[in-house]
Amino acid sequence: MTLAVGSTVLYGGVLVDVIAHASKAIPATGALGAAGALLLLVALARADAGLVAWPVACLGTAYGIALVVQGRSTDGAAPLVAVGLFLCAELAAWSIDERLAIRAERAVLARRATALGALSFASLAVAALVVVLASAPVGSGLAWVILGAASAVGIVGIAVSLARRI
């Protein structure tokens, strides 16, 4: 229950941040955020781990809309939004796992909490690095676009390979 509440609170926090950043696009971001919240509640209520990524996708889309509406200035809170969404999804998944009637030792819970904390911290560091590097005056050009495209293609490749392994 604590994990589910934590997940919902994180979702709500990110949603508030998104809405606060895009006062002009509240209907769109609000609708997407509400849909995501509904999906999150459904996922938690039905203990369906397959639905956990959908609230993230909804709120991520709302965040994208808010960024577009907001204008060209870089959002310094983006790493926190990213980690917040990730933790929201992971806590929801953990909450669903805990519904199984398997009593876990304290060491098992500690290992998962440590792993989640480490991954979140690393994600925060990487996201912050990306934002800082983007803010740095290193110029722009075709090379950066190609690098970005390559990274995107790489991630898509991972997704495809994972989908094949399932």
Partner 1 sequence: MTRHVSPRLPAYAAVAAAALLAALVLGRVELVALAAPFALAAVIAPASARHPELRGTLALGRDRALESEVVDATLTLTATSDEVVDVLLELRPGLATDVDNPRALALSAADPRTLELPLRCVRWGAFVLGPALVRAHDRLGFYAWEGRIGGREPLRVYPSVEALHALLPPLETQVFVGNQVSRAKGDGIEFADIRAWAPGDVPRRINWRATARRRELWVNEQHPERNTDVVLFLDTFTDVHAGGRGTLDMTVRAATSLAQRYLQRKDRVGLVSFGGVLSWLLPASGTRQLYRIVDSLLQMDIVLSYAVRDVDVLPPRALPPKALVLALTPLIDARTPPGLLDLRARGYDLVVVEVSPVPFVEPEGDELAQLSYRLWRLSREATRARYQLAGVPVVEWLDGVPLNVPLEEVAAFRRFARPARA
Q: Is 151 in the site for partner 1 (CB under 8 A)?
A: yes
Q: Cβ contacts of residue 28 below 8 Å, gap of 6+?
A: 62, 65
Work out how close the CB of 79 gets to partner 1 at its nearest, in angstroms, rounded to a whole number.
5
Q: Is 143 in the site for partner 1 (CB under 8 A)?
A: no
Smaller CB distance to partner 1: residue 15 or 82? 82
Q: How many CB atoms lie within 10 A of CB 91?
A: 23
Q: Is 41 in the site for partner 1 (CB under 8 A)?
A: no
Task: Report the alpha-carbon distance of residue 16 to residue 88 in Å, rounded.
Answer: 14
Smaller CB distance to partner 1: residue 8 or 90? 90
Residue 54's region, left for phi above 0, alpha for psi from -120 to 50, else beta, is alpha
Find the radius of gyration of the CA atoms of the chain.
18
Q: Is 131 in the site for partner 1 (CB under 8 A)?
A: yes
Among 101, 138, 142, 143, binds partner 1 (CB under 8 A): 101
Among 18, 85, 91, 95, binds partner 1 (CB under 8 A): 85
